């Protein structure tokens, strides 16, 4: 196929809106609906939400712009894009580490992402069976505990999810996906609004609102900042090249600033709305907000069980959560897939299958973390928690830090300006301040304080 000068061999989004939808499909996923509410719950609610929003605005947004513009400039998989951009900037090959680490992080994340998405698939089935009709909080909790105690069932669900993902990826993501995203993303929004309406009327809304937006600074320590930063990266799909890979397919005439802002706003809206839908129900039923990963799988079914036609809503909700997860899972495979296709001229479907099998195998560790291996700990963390921590809280922010530094200090100014459609002026300097100073400094400080806790009190320096 003859390519235009400014095109990717993997295909191009047909418009900037399809990039917005695809990137929002990547961003909106389990991180928003499952993870954000429980992480906020475990870290004290209100103050955590605020620092998370700060991380999204000051660190996430500029890095998302950087990834998109790098992808569009390189027009290849992140590994090859970094190679091309390093040459353009006459920089060392070291920067290729961004692409390689991204592939590693995507692989680790997908291994457990598939397991949790499998839970959503299982809940479609349980909802349809009417398991949660007028259920008590205790029974809802029991259904989840029983499921977690059954590794074979979890493995089955994980297998189905991974199979679906690989099937779609292998058949050519962009075309198949564009249709699915157009249909399912709006539906997801509508359902969230319905749930929000339910939350508002559940009798616990004020408490839920207080919990999510109350400034309880005492719960915010260095760890909370690290988790908020990790969550901002995770939810926006940053730091591992997924957005860079998608950026490679963005048409030249699309404005990066406005498209990226739209994606971040959509993503943040879904996370906050999911929290506001879930917490009121938690309080109205006298449940604990900090109950961890089970929040979505215990409280939401409980809520649906009380709603008229709750089983129907529940089925639709978990179908949509599964779709949101699939559109994210696909983007997790894209950097590695695109690289292998470029490097070995390999068939997409074949590459997808091999990657899928490897991820599936690694995912077994996560499955067992909830039952047979629940007492096996690495530095106090289960296998799942360790993979999650390393990929989300270390690899993604580290990748983001390098991306910010590269864009700010290695990429020739003319390239960045032409990609952003910017000229010297206040907006350009604001961008330079964010990408060159605030975003990297933010990531760095959080890192240092986490890795050397004594830095928090300056006691490392004998103070």
> CB of 331: closest distance to ligand PFF in angstroms?
5
CA dist., res. 283 & res. 416, Å (int): 48
- Identity of the residue, 28 or 148, whose beta carbon is nearer to ligand PFF in the bound complex: 28
> CB of 318: closest distance to ligand PFF in angstroms?
15
> CB of 346: closest distance to ligand PFF in angstroms?
21
> CB of 60: closest distance to ligand PFF in angstroms?
11
CA dist., res. 15 & res. 17, Å (int): 5
> CB of 332: closest distance to ligand PFF in angstroms?
5
> CB of 105: closest distance to ligand PFF in angstroms?
8
Other C-beta atoms closer than 10 Å to the C-beta of 187 total: 14
Question: DSSP assignment of 173-207, as one string?
Answer: HHHHHHHHHHHHHHHHHHHHHHHHHHHHTSS-HHH
- Identity of the residue, 26 or 43, whose beta carbon is nearer to ligand PFF in the bound complex: 26
CA dist., res. 260 & res. 254, Å (int): 10
> CB of 446: closest distance to ligand PFF in angstroms?
18
Question: DSSP assignment of 118-177, as one string?
Answer: HHHHHHHHHHHTTTTTT--HHHHHHHHHHHHT-HHHHHHHHHHHHHHHHHHHHTTHHHHH
- Identity of the residue, 173 or 209, whose beta carbon is nearer to ligand PFF in the bound complex: 173
> CB of 312: closest distance to ligand PFF in angstroms?
25
In a 3-state reduction of DSSP, which class is residue 2? coil
CA dist., res. 64 & res. 323, Å (int): 23
Say if residues 373 and 391 touch (Cβ distance below 8 Å).
Answer: no
Say if residues 46 and 216 touch (Cβ distance below 8 Å).
Answer: yes
> CB of 454: closest distance to ligand PFF in angstroms?
31
Question: DSSP assignment of 232-268, as one string?
Answer: HHHHTT-SSSHHHHHHTTS-TTS-HHHHHHHHHHHHH
> CB of 243: closest distance to ligand PFF in angstroms?
7
- What are the tokens at 33? 């609906």
> CB of 319: closest distance to ligand PFF in angstroms?
16
Nearest to 439 by CA among 393, 395, 408: 408
- Identity of the residue, 27 or 85, whose beta carbon is nearer to ligand PFF in the bound complex: 27
CA dist., res. 388 & res. 397, Å (int): 13
- Identity of the residue, 86 or 237, whose beta carbon is nearer to ligand PFF in the bound complex: 237
- What are the tokens at 410? 């290695």
- Identity of the residue, 331 or 382, whose beta carbon is nearer to ligand PFF in the bound complex: 331
Burial code (b: 16+ CB inside 10 Å, e: under 16) for 269-294 equals ebbbbbbbbbbbbbbbbebebebebb
Say if residues 242 and 2 touch (Cβ distance below 8 Å).
Answer: no
- Identity of the residue, 31 or 62, whose beta carbon is nearer to ligand PFF in the bound complex: 31
> CB of 169: closest distance to ligand PFF in angstroms?
13
Other C-beta atoms closer than 10 Å to the C-beta of 197 total: 11
Greatest CA separation found in the chain?
A: 65
- Identity of the residue, 126 or 388, whose beta carbon is nearer to ligand PFF in the bound complex: 388
Other C-beta atoms closer than 10 Å to the C-beta of 463 total: 7
- Identity of the residue, 106 or 247, whose beta carbon is nearer to ligand PFF in the bound complex: 106
Say if residues 162 and 359 touch (Cβ distance below 8 Å).
Answer: yes
- Identity of the residue, 126 or 334, whose beta carbon is nearer to ligand PFF in the bound complex: 334
- Identity of the residue, 69 or 284, whose beta carbon is nearer to ligand PFF in the bound complex: 69
Residues in contact with ligand PFF by the rule CB under 6 A: 26-27, 29-32, 106, 109, 234-235, 237, 240, 242, 328, 331-332
Burial code (b: 16+ CB inside 10 Å, e: under 16) for 172-182 equals ebbeebbeebe
- Identity of the residue, 117 or 303, whose beta carbon is nearer to ligand PFF in the bound complex: 117
CA dist., res. 111 & res. 129, Å (int): 28
């Amino acid at each position: 196929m003859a390519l235009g000068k400014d095109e990717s061999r993997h295909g191009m989004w047909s418009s900037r809106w399809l990039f917005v939808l695809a990137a929002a499909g990547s961003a909106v996923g389990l991180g928003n609906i499952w993870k954000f509410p429980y992480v906020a719950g475990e870290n004290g609610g209100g103050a955590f939400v605020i620092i998370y929003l700060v991380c999204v605005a000051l660190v996430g947004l500029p890095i998302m712009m950087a990834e998109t513009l790098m992808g569009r400039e390189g027009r290849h998989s992140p590994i090859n894009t970094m190679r091309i951009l390093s040459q353009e900037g006459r920089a060392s090959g070291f920067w290729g580490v961004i692409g390689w680490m991204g592939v590693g992080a995507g692989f680790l994340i997908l291994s457990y992402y598939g397991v949790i998405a499998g839970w959503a698939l299982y809940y479609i089935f349980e909802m349809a069976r009417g398991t949660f009709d007028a259920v008590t909080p205790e029974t809802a909790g029991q259904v989840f505990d029983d499921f977690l105690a059954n590794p074979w069932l979890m493995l089955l669900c994980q297998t189905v999810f991974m199979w679906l993902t690989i099937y779609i990826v292998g058949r050519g993501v962009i075309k198949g996906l564009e249709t699915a995203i157009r249909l399912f993303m709006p539906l997801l929004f509508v359902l969230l609004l319905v749930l929000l309406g339910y939350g508002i009327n559940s009798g616990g809304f004020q408490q839920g609102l207080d919990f999510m937006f109350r400034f309880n600074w005492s719960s915010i320590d260095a760890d909370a900042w690290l988790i908020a930063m990790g969550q901002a990266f995770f939810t926006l799909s940053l730091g591992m090249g997924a957005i860079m890979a998608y950026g490679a397919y963005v048409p030249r005439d699309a404005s990066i600033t406005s498209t990226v802002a739209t994606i971040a706003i959509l993503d943040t809206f879904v996370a906050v709305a999911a929290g506001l839908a879930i917490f009121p129900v938690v309080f109205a039923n006298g449940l604990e907000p900090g109950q961890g990963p089970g929040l979505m799988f215990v409280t939401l079914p409980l809520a649906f069980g009380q709603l008229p036609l709750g089983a129907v809503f529940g089925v639709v909700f978990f179908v949509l959560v599964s779709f949101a997860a699939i559109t994210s899972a696909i983007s997790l495979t894209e950097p590695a897939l695109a690289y292998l296709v470029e490097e070995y001229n390999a068939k997409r479907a074949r590459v997808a299958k091999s990657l899928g099998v490897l991820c599936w195998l690694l995912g077994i560790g996560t499955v067992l973390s909830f039952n047979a291996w629940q007492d096996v700990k690495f530095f106090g963390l289960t296998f799942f928690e360790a993979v999650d921590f390393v990929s989300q809280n270390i690899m993604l922010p580290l990748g983001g830090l390098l991306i910010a530094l590269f864009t700010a200090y290695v990429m020739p100014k003319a390239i960045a300006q032409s990609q952003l459609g910017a000229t010297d002026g206040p907006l350009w300097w604001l961008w330079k301040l964010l990408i060159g100073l605030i975003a990297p400094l933010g990531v760095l400080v959080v890192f240092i304080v986490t890795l050397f806790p004594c830095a928090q009190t300056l006691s490392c320096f004998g103070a």
